[in-house]
Structures are given as C-alpha cells and as structure tokens.
Amino acid sequence: MQQAGPSVIKSISQRGLLTDWRRVSEGRRIPDFGSFTLSDLDHGRHQLLFWHVVGSGYDRVFRSLFQGDHVVEGLGETWLVLNKTSIGPFQQYAFATLSDCADRHVPVYSVISTEDSAGQRIDCERLLLPFGRDPETVDLVLAAIQLVSNHGSFDRRSVMARFVAKCEFTYTAAISEDAALPA
C-alpha cells in the first residue's frame, strides 16, 4: 500500500478527524478512544461507523458498534459484521482496508467509485482511524464516509447497491505519520 500525506484527503470534516486523532495520539502509537472527543459541529456523526476489532489475521472480525444515520440509510443492516469470507469485491475491499488499518496502526484513506444511472461518477471517500486501549493493539476503527457526486445528486438509499454491484477501487493510501498536516 502506498503512503501519502493528509493533503490527499478531500473532505474538510475527515481532515478535522485526522487532526484530532493526531492530537490525542501524541506520545502513543495509537490513541485510546476515550481520549477522543467528537463534536457534532466538527464531524458529521451521521457519516461515521465504529468497528470493534475482534481477533487477528484470518480469524479477525469487524463488528459494527455504531452507524450514523446516513450510513444506516445507505447500507441498511447488511454491514453489521465484516470478516474474511464477506461476499463481493466491495465487502472484501472494506475488510482488507480495515485489516490494513488495524495491522499497520495507521490511518488509511481510500476512494471507491461507481456511476449513477446517467453514467455520472460517484465517489465514496473513506478515512479509517485506529484506536486501542493498549497502544500496540487496535480494538476499534472509526470509519468516516463521504459520498461525493460532482455532476448530480444521488439517493443514499440506493447508491450503495451501485457500489456493491460495480465499483472501481480508485485510490488507497496509508496516511504517513510524519507527513505534515495542511495549514
């Protein structure tokens, strides 16, 4: 997986999450979630998922602890658990990037693309942030999801079906710990 600085993250709220994550992780490899504060004004809770990390390697499972309103509207109840045997390329990619985040102890940013019924591109920008009570073990991953369409609108209730049916994994990078944050 390539490494990149935070400037690749397009969403202002996702950059804010990364800034806060870095602030609370000073002196630790990964922060404890208890030291992290989410503000509704700074971070859209409706676009967040919290994944509890259970196990490691092939036996690892990610269990959903919280799904924001927009996430529930788009995904429904189908994303309560992700594991190595999750069906479909989109789910397998989600599992693989969550695993990379947990194994590497670093934020992971990705962009997954699909098309609407008119052939216009829709991007799903996703930032994963690792947390752990023990600084050597990730037990929670915060996923911030931003859906973007530059050429039209979309219906969250049906757009995820398009990603599951046909998507392109446009960009994936581990966000470098030593890269400077934008001013």
Domain range list for the chain? 2-175
**CA–CA separation, 54 and 46 (whole Å):** 24
- For residue 29, what is the DSSP state? S
In tens digits, what is the pLDDT along the chain, a chain of 183 residues? 889 989 999 888 888 889 889 988 887 889 988 888 776 445 567 788 888 999 887 788 888 887 676 666 666 655 666 667 666 777 788 888 999 999 999 999 999 888 887 788 888 889 999 999 988 899 999 998 888 887 767 676 677 777 777 888 889 999 986 654 444
**CA–CA separation, 62 and 99 (whole Å):** 9
**CA–CA separation, 146 and 103 (whole Å):** 24
Whole-model pTM: value is 0.85
Give per-residue pLDDT as tens, 54-86: 988 778 888 888 767 666 666 665 566 666 766
CATH entry, 2-175, from 3.30.750, 3.30.450, 3.40.50, 1.10.3210: 3.30.450
